[in-house]
Amino acid sequence: MSKQVIVIGGGVAGLSAAIYARRSGFDVTLCEQHSIVGGMCTSWRRKDYLFEGAIHWLTGSSPKTQVYQMWKETGALGDNIKIYLHDVFRSIEWEGKILNLYRSINKTAEHLLELSPADKQEIRRLVKMVKLFTRMQMPVMDIKGVKVQNPMRMTLGSMLKMMPALPIFTKMNKLVCNDYFKKFKHPGIRKLLNFIPEGYSASAVIFTLTTLETGDGGYPEGGSLAMTERMAQTYKNLGGKLLLNTKVNKVIIENGTVTGVKLEKETLSADAIIVTQETIAALDRLFDTPPNDAWLKKLRETTKPAVCTFISMGVRAQLPEVIPEWQLDEPIKYADKKITDIGFVSYAGYEGYAPKGCTALTTAFMGDTYDFWKKAKEEGRYDKEKRELAEQINRAFCRKYPQAEGNIEVIDIATPLTYEHYTGAYHGSWMTIQGPDDKMGNYPGVVQSVRGLYFSGHRIIPPGGHPSALAAGRMAAQMVCRQFNTMFV
């Protein structure tokens, strides 16, 4: 009789873990509290508009990468899935000019040199770093002690190829982004490069530009929702059991071993459990006595959550495919914050995101405003605060694009509480901030104090993101295979 594996959470990590475990011969049940799969990797419809809530550029969208192989194995991507690779990655207005970051680092450098010849030396350093970093990519390897049908290893050649980039990576990882930007004399260049949330190390900027340079980081047709639905279909085609609208209340542990989970109306038995719900929230919610492994304690104490307020807007007007970030005449104020610049991702170039002649737009205000929104909810001001924020955004956008006046049909605001409600994530956080000198490396995932209990998800491979969640799910499935001496497929 096959061993029973329960996966808690139907995001990218949960779907990955469930697919690989099922393909390796286990009886797998995937429990997802929401009515759809995807977790943080999701899109949603409001009226006639589809809003992309997660993927803006996807690492591993290029077949040249190892990560692509995992996306393909799980059904997320494939030869028949179109990948959009737009030439302009980011655009801003600066003193009457439009400044662009292009996919090609050489094209970006040429553009920036025209703007600021005085920054020639630093621009050349940037180009050199990006080209060195193209030798690096997210490795996909097998865990120790697991039998694997098709092993994935990092070759000596790959390691030697990466060596020249490591000293520069170490140096950039010790710098906060803002300290790196100060190396450029031109304030417009500093602003253009400032697309990484506050607190991250400068290596995040270089890695992103490198992803673009290598032809990776595209946008898959259909976006997040279509991608995770393809993963769910792969899982179901393998004979996996998917339970939507199913919240796991407790993980049952007897004599130091998992035996199952408690749902609202029934109990499911299990020989192994993979928890892919956000780790900190899961520790507090799923256990009478949370496991106390040292790595779990460290994860809880050191995690710096990346949080945002996400705004989606549907406009009954044909707007440009690229909308440069601009400085506001009047700052947008909310949650003791002052937004002085705003930019939108336009989906004017994609079919199915808006009715003909209309445009779907999204933007995000970064920063942990969880406590503000929670207090507003408790005091009955939550909807009022969202309306006031929406009105400020409406006014700001219409001043810039008069054709939108009276034609904004939808402004949808997802607060950190929205993310918490649908995913259960701590502070509604979708990534971990990787700051200067934060050590790179994975958390073990396996709980030594409880046999058969594993954690997966974006916290396990900081700073997170969809590729990290994908790899963490695969890793958890391998851990289950190792426990039962089963071949990983």
Residue 40 has what pLDDT? 96
271 shares its domain with 225: yes
Distance between CA atoms of 414 and 224, rounded to whole angstroms? 16
With a cut of 90, say whether residue 109 has pLDDT above it: yes
Task: Give the DSSP letter string of 84-116.
Answer: E--SEEEEEEETTEEEEEESSHHHHHHHHHHH-
Q: Could you give the C-alpha distances from 346 to 81, 366, 405, in angstroms and in order?
A: 21, 18, 17
CB 453 within 8 A of CB 251: yes
Residue 77 has what pLDDT? 98
The answer to whether residue 48 is domain-embedded is no
Could you say which of 426, 451, 474 is where a domain stops? 426
Question: What single-letter amino acid sits at 233?
Answer: Q
135 shares its domain with 109: yes
Could you say which of 405, 426, 447 is where a domain stops? 426
Burial bucket for residue 295 (CB in 10 Å: 0-12, 13-18, 19+) = middle
Residue 164 has what pLDDT? 80
Q: Cis bond leading into 291, ω under 30°? A: no
189 shares its domain with 240: no
Task: Give the DSSP letter string of 326-378.
Answer: EEEEEEEEETTEEEEEEEEEE-TTSTTSS-TT-EEEEEEEES--HHHHHHHHH
CB 365 within 8 A of CB 337: yes
CB 241 within 8 A of CB 269: no
Residue 156 has what pLDDT? 66
Query: Kind and range of the H or E element at 480?
Result: helix 466-483
Distance between CA atoms of 273 and 280, rounded to whole angstroms? 17
353 shares its domain with 412: yes
Query: Kind and range of the H or E element at 476?
Result: helix 466-483
CB 391 within 8 A of CB 413: no
The number of CA neighbours under 13 Å toward the Cβ of 368 is 14
Distance between CA atoms of 128 and 123, rounded to whole angstroms? 9
Q: Tell me how crowded residue 125 is: count the other CB atoms within 10 A of its CB.
A: 13
Query: pLDDT grade, residue 126 (50/70/90)?
Result: very high
The answer to whether residue 49 is domain-embedded is no
229 shares its domain with 183: no
92 is in which domain, residue-wise? 86-142+151-214
CATH value at residue 18 = 3.50.50.60
pLDDT digits (tens, 9 = 90+) for 172-187: 888 999 999 999 999 9
For range 205-215, the mean pLDDT: 94
For range 76-100, the mean pLDDT: 96
User: And the tokens for 166?
Assistant: 């490591």
The answer to whether residue 52 is domain-embedded is no
CB 339 within 8 A of CB 325: no
With a cut of 90, say whether residue 167 has pLDDT above it: no
The answer to whether residue 114 is domain-embedded is yes
* Residue 125 neighbours by CB under 8 Å, 6+ apart: none
The answer to whether residue 47 is domain-embedded is no
With a cut of 70, say whether residue 222 has pLDDT above it: yes
393 shares its domain with 336: yes
With a cut of 90, say whether residue 349 has pLDDT above it: no
pLDDT digits (tens, 9 = 90+) for 19-65: 999 999 999 999 999 999 999 999 999 999 999 999 989 999 999 99
296 shares its domain with 441: yes
Q: How many domains does the chain have?
A: 3
Burial bucket for residue 262 (CB in 10 Å: 0-12, 13-18, 19+) = middle
241 shares its domain with 353: no
474 shares its domain with 360: no
Task: Give the DSSP letter string of 264-278.
Answer: SS-EEE-SEEEE-S-
Task: Give the DSSP letter string of 3-44.
Answer: PEEEEE--BHHHHHHHHHHHHTT-EEEEE-SSSSSBTTS-EE
The model carries a pTM of 0.95
Closest of 36, 35, 29, 25 to residue 481, by C-alpha:
25
* Residue 237 neighbours by CB under 8 Å, 6+ apart: none
Which residue(s) pair with 5 in the sheet?
28, 272
Query: Kind and range of the H or E element at 279?
Result: helix 279-285
Q: Could you give the C-alpha distances from 155 to 60, 137, 146, 151, 243, in angstroms and in order?
A: 19, 13, 18, 12, 40
95 shares its domain with 207: yes
Bridging pattern class, strands 27-31 and 4-8 = parallel
61 shares its domain with 36: yes
For range 395-399, the mean pLDDT: 98
User: And the tokens for 404?
Assistant: 């939108």
The answer to whether residue 103 is domain-embedded is yes
The answer to whether residue 51 is domain-embedded is no
Could you say which of 194, 214, 234 is where a domain stops? 214
Mean pLDDT of the chain: 95
Distance between CA atoms of 403 and 409, rounded to whole angstroms? 13
CB 386 within 8 A of CB 373: no
467 shares its domain with 393: no
pLDDT digits (tens, 9 = 90+) for 283-295: 999 999 999 999 9
Task: Give the DSSP letter string of 169-230.
Answer: HHHHHTSBHHHHHTT-S-HHHHHHH--SPTT-BTHHHHHHHHHHHTT--BEETTHHHHHHHH
The answer to whether residue 488 is domain-embedded is no
